[in-house]
Amino acid sequence: MLKILEAVVLTCLLILVVVACSPMQVKNESEVTLAPSKVHEDCMELIQTDVLYYSFKTEGPVNFNIHYHEGAKITYPVTKDNTAGEEGRFYPDRKQYFCLMWTNPQSGSVRLTYTFRIEKQ
């Protein structure tokens, strides 16, 4: 009986070590409708060791960017205009609130489906 208990405790400890050493992940999946000339943003705090994986698809071309604000200045590390879908990785160079942003330049509404995952090292 004692040997079984020892085996169970060791197995639980091993699982805890593996989970604790694995990079933490934060994931989001969303679907929205963008009206003409409207914007959708999803913002999150990232640090230098994070990796942001993102992908999206739309029913029609949109303008996409990843940006951040410093006072009145807006910096755009990633911009893609007139795209109906993208997939990529973003490596932040600073601790900052970054926003994924989509703008609908179309005269009609556009359905946007997107997902992102933040890998915390």
**53 - beta bridge partners?**
89, 117
pLDDT digits (tens, 9 = 90+) for 31-60: 999 999 999 999 999 999 999 999 999 999
Q: How many whole angstroms separate alpha carbon 49 and alpha carbon 77?
A: 16
Query: Looking only at Cα atoms, what is the longest distance across the chain?
Result: 72
CA distance 115 to 113: 7
> How confident is the model over 11-19, as a mean pLDDT?
40
DSSP 35: P
Please answer whether residues 92 and 46 qualify as being in contact, where contact means their C-beta atoms are separated by less than 8 angstroms.
yes
Whole-prediction pTM: 0.77
In the CATH scheme, what architecture does the domain 24-120 have?
Sandwich (2.60)
Name the percent of the chain lying above pLDDT 90: 74
- Mean pLDDT along residues 74-82: 97
Split at pLDDT 50, 70, 90, the class of 19 is very low
Q: 106, 36 in Cβ contact below 8 A?
A: yes
* pLDDT attached to residue 7: 47
Q: Which residues pair with 101 in a beta bridge?
A: 41, 65
